[in-house]
Amino acid sequence: MSTQPDSVIKEPSETGFTLIEVLMAMAIFAIGILAVGSMQIAAMNGGASARRSTDAATIAQDQIEKIIAGDYDDLAAPADAVVNGRYSLNWAVAEDDLNGDGNNDAKNVTVTVTWPDKGGDRSFNLDFTKVLNIKG
């Protein structure tokens, strides 16, 4: 027979967390936070790339509007690219005979905006045709 009272023998407690459980939870939480941080960086880079593409499209559209407003006979390609901050603007002009009478009555214009980006230069092209206004 035991001489110790029953109140002296203690059972291990079933409440609370062990150190291993806490460390594992912290590791899983840290991996999740790193994944969210990585996704945030990718989203910021994608947003910046989209902004640069939108800026290039706006520059090209502005140049097309200037060309459209100008005189048909004065339309020619520039000798050198026009630099607009980090963007380089150039356009090419090709004459075309739309009605087949042997006279050039249209100019096909390709406006190209180029800018440096990760992995090399990127470019945006915008094409349009300016037709000679013949009054008759």
39 compared with 100, residue with greater pLDDT = 39
Q: What is the pLDDT of residues 43-99, one digit of tens each?
A: 999 899 999 999 999 999 999 998 888 888 888 877 777 777 889 999 999 988 887
Residues 6+ apart with CB under 8 A from 10: none
pLDDT-derived band at 42, boundaries 50, 70, 90: very high
Please count the other Cβ atoms lying within 10 Å of the Cβ belonging to residue 13.
6
Beta bridge partner(s), residue 120: 117
In 3D, which of 117, 4, 5 has the Cα closest to residue 52? 117
pLDDT of residue 122: 93
pLDDT of residue 4: 58
pLDDT of residue 126: 93
pTM: 0.69
- Strand 87-96 relative to strand 106-117, pairing: antiparallel
Q: Please calculate the CA angle 22-27-28 and round it to the nearest 5 degrees.
A: 100
Q: What is the pLDDT of residues 3-38, one digit of tens each?
A: 655 555 556 666 788 999 999 999 999 999 999 999
pLDDT of residue 8: 56
Helices (H) and strands (E) counted in the chain, each on its own, are 1, 4
pLDDT of residue 20: 94
Q: What's the rounded Cα separation, in Å, for the pair 134 and 104? A: 12
Domain range list for the chain: 17-131
For every residue of 16-62, which 3-state class applies, written as one string?
Answer: CCCHHHHHHHHHHHHHHHHHHHHHHHHHHHHHHHHHHHHHHHHHHHH
In the predicted model, is pLDDT for residue 111 greater than 80?
yes
